[in-house]
Chain A
Amino acid sequence: MSRFEAGARREVLLDVAKLSTRYEGRGGSVLAVDAASFRVHPGETVALVGESGSGKTTAALSVLSLLPRGGRVEAGEARFRGRDLVRLDEREMRAVLGAEIGVVFQDPLASLDPVHTIGRHVREALRGTPGLSWIARRKRAVELLARVGLPDPERVARAYPHRLSGGMRQRAMIAVAIARRPSLLVADEPTSALDTTVQAGILELFRSLRAEIGMGILLITHDLAVVAENADRAEVMYAGRIVESASVADLFAEPRHPYTAMLLRSHPSRASGARGDRRLESIPGRVPDPSERPSGCAFRDRCPLARGRCADQAPPLLPIAVGARSGSPRSVACHFDEEAPALLAAPVVPPRSPS
């Protein structure tokens, strides 16, 4: 039995449905997230996977009401424990953030205020906790720093962010995010700015905290290795849309979207581990500029399977047969999804229109 099945019987923690987010700027308007739907269950890690510009961070920020200026949720809802976060007013949202949802950002140095000590950051996160005196907060802050594996937490609490290493900063950020034992942790590229060896420690920390607090994690990443080792489910995003949704086991064994398949091909561990010293491949072309999305399927310019109706019919995200490995539901947005698994093994076919 997979963790997903266990989760499915429980309540849904976060239920995002048909969420669309638009950026309005001087250069025109851009639909950064187009009708994205996904769910996070308690104790489950869901990964939003995609290249930069795919809309994965925007989707998360939309849920958190932390969109930068010019960003606006156009349609859809994000139900968190029954409440639609998109429709909460500012004051209600502030009560949810920090207390029930913790956030870890990509760049821990930029996300920590340079003029405050680490201890003050954690104490500030604890501010809303009812019945916690100033002294108790101080003590609790040091405990939290110890919990996230920082050596000599007393000293770290007195240090300013620039005095710590990248990994220590990210641990401090995590201490801030989990200070009030949130039921959902949103982690936006939490390990991308870190060395590989440090990454492993941070991800291990996420796993142990998830077990301890029982929180759901929404993990935003471009790194398939991170997904493989930490996530239960993966939502692959491309050009603002979710193109494939499956349990991680199914996704890696049998990708049903050509984009997923090619992402897997381009990954070093997959390439060298499973298939000897095969050449590492990149996906030709690049993510289309969201403001000039091609007609039909957004991936067709880079897709070896593209033909015929791909040019004018955008494939909807449709459920397919449950995954062979996990037995959990999966869906994909491709007209020729059955041909996709073969791409993992097949020699590279250059796309039809390389111009």
Chain B
Amino acid sequence: MADGRVLARVAASIRARPVARAAALLLLFFYSLAVLAPLIANDRPYFVRDASGAGGGRWPLFESLSRLEVLLIVLWFLTLAALLFGRRRWVLAVALLVALVFGAAPGRATLAPSDWKERIAAGEFEAQSAVFPPIAFGFAETNLAESYRPPTWLASAEISDAGAYVRGPRAPVPDPVTGVVPAPSPVPVRAGEPARNSAWRHPLGADSLGRDVLARLLYGARVSLAVGLLSAAALFALGVLVGAAAGYFGGWIDLLLSRGIEVVLCFPAFFLVLLVLASADPRVLPPAVSIAFVIALVGWPSVARLVRAEVLRLRDADFVVAARALGASPLRALVAHVLPNALGPAIVAASFAVGGGALVEAALSYLGFGVQVPIPSWGSLASESHHAGHWWLQLFPGLAILVSVAGYNLVGEAVREALDPRLAGRREGAR
């Protein structure tokens, strides 16, 4: 570690690399979409006027937001503001907070399907005055007549009044379980929704229950992005704690912790995660949170080993002796002087672990061990149908996973360039 603030150097490194910079911006965009998902995709209108004509109105979408949601959105804007304008030191703290809330939020299904569209259609409110979000579908809002409807901008997705596909080679698909071929039924277009054959109705298609894939992708981003961050943060914290204790105190503490590290490293991580998740109670912990912690529980040794090695190297460094010469206690010397210098490689490992965690979550959800229906995650979206004809159900969630994990790794690469001591020589040479 050659110089000052770690975050400043990471930021400079990302800024200096166009690819990493684009990836970071894309991830920020993804995060914004995930946080703001209830404001972008919802079956409640922003505003609707009373039918009585008295001028009164309701704000159904905002009324439905839980306090947690509001806190999340406010925190996110604070984080963005800090990233854009502020001193960067507290960005990390805020971002971590966001991640934590993020992880907890999808577990509380406050955004269940509402009856607002029916109420508007019934004439309780003035239909023309209703202002709906850009995507007028909730993530759990079903429309069985549109089961497995392809993206609506495709010609093959055009549906007649009777509910049958007008053209296209695609015959109705039998249900994989029951074998029943669904009879065409007219597609109901509810209040606020785009027209039946509008390209904007289901731009990414619909799933088996006729739910809008785009809306589910947006909400699914919350779990998928949060689990990655949360697992990396937990893994980092645990690894630093164990690694620092082992490296600094040495002796039998080191012996014990090092053997512990080796034991955990021996476990086939993925199956351990499966085992724990199969026995975890989703009512106690939201599955997104338990997935993150289980990933952290098997992933911390890699960070712990790096921190231990760095602490061993630094505990007798001149500046640590100098701190002791000023009367600093061993704990203070560790926390204030050894650790800040020892964290570089651990931060690098943790930044790569974000993408790794997101991938593990996707795999778990794909296998059905992840978050519970109807809450979506990218992994569970991709497993919605295994039929080759339903390519949009596999392509779009898959792309989202691919792009976000690639983004994490590109940013991680920039972090590594900034912090890895092994690359220090190259850095100096480049100047």
Chain A residues in the interface with B (C-beta under 8 A):
64, 66, 68-69, 94-99, 103, 105, 107, 110-117, 124-125, 128, 160, 162-163, 173, 176
Contacts and interface: CB of A to CB of B under 8 A. Distances in A.
A117 B327 contact: no
Contacts of B3: 114-115, 160, 162-163
Interface stretch (B35-43, B239-247, B311-319): B311-319
B56 interface: no
Interface in B293-351: 316-319, 321-329, 336-337, 340-341
Contact of A114 (B4, B321, B329, B336): B4
Contact of A105 (B316, B322, B341): B322
A57 to B, nearest CB: 11
Contacts of A124: 323, 326, 328, 336
Nearest to B329: A94
B327 A98 contact: yes
Interface string B1-17: 11111100000000000
B2 A162 contact: yes
23 contacts: A64-B325, A66-B324, A94-B327, A94-B328, A94-B329, A98-B326, A105-B318, A105-B321, A105-B322, A107-B318, A110-B318, A111-B322, A113-B322, A113-B341, A114-B1, A114-B341, A115-B341, A117-B4, A124-B336, A160-B4, A162-B4, A163-B3, A176-B326
Nearest to B343: A115
A115 B5 contact: yes
Which 7 pairs show the lowest CB-CB distances between chains A and B? A98-B327, A110-B318, A103-B325, A98-B326, A160-B4, A97-B327, A111-B322
Given A69-B316, A105-B318, A110-B318, A97 B4 contact: no
B325 A66 contact: yes
A105 B324 CA distance: 12
B417 to A, nearest CB: 18
A227 B311 CA distance: 38
B22 to A, nearest CB: 29
Given A115-B4, A124-B336, A162-B3, A97 B324 contact: yes
A98 B321 CA distance: 12
Contacts of B324: 66, 97
B66 to A, nearest CB: 39
Contacts of A163: 3
A103 B323 CA distance: 10
B337 to A, nearest CB: 5
B4 A111 contact: no
A125 to B, nearest CB: 5
A103 B1 CA distance: 24
Nearest to B324: A66
A94 B323 CA distance: 11
A114 B323 contact: no
Contacts of B337: 113, 116
B327 A112 contact: no
A103 B322 contact: yes
Contacts of B322: 103, 105, 111-113, 173, 176
Contacts of A117: 4
A185 to B, nearest CB: 11
Contacts of A69: 316
B2 A113 contact: no
A110 B327 contact: no
A309 B329 CA distance: 50
Contacts of B325: 64, 66, 97-98, 103, 105
Contacts of B341: 113-115
A95 B326 CA distance: 9
Contacts of A95: 327
* B5, B326, B341: residue with the most chain A Cβ atoms closer than 10 Å: B326
A107 B6 CA distance: 24
B319 A110 contact: yes
A20 B317 CA distance: 25
A110 B318 CA distance: 6
A220 to B, nearest CB: 13
A90 to B, nearest CB: 8
A68 to B, nearest CB: 6
Given A105-B318, A160-B3, A160-B4, A113 B327 contact: no
Nearest to B344: A115
Nearest to B1: A114
B128 to A, nearest CB: 60
Contacts of A125: 326
Contacts of A176: 322, 326
B407 to A, nearest CB: 28
A99 B319 contact: no
Contacts of A98: 325-327
B316 A113 contact: no
Nearest to B341: A115
B276 to A, nearest CB: 37
Contact of B317 (A66, A97, A110, A160): A110
A117 B340 CA distance: 13
A94 B329 CA distance: 7
Contacts of A114: 1-4, 319, 341
Contacts of A113: 319, 322-323, 336-337, 340-341
Given A105-B322, A115-B341, A68 B316 contact: yes
A226 to B, nearest CB: 21
A96 B327 CA distance: 7
Contacts of B328: 94, 124
A163 B6 CA distance: 16
**Residue among A95, A112, A113, A173 with most chain B CB within 10 A:** A113
B252 to A, nearest CB: 16
B4 A99 contact: no
A105 B340 CA distance: 22
Contacts of A64: 325
Nearest to A106: B318
A99 B327 contact: yes
A120 to B, nearest CB: 9
A124 B340 CA distance: 15
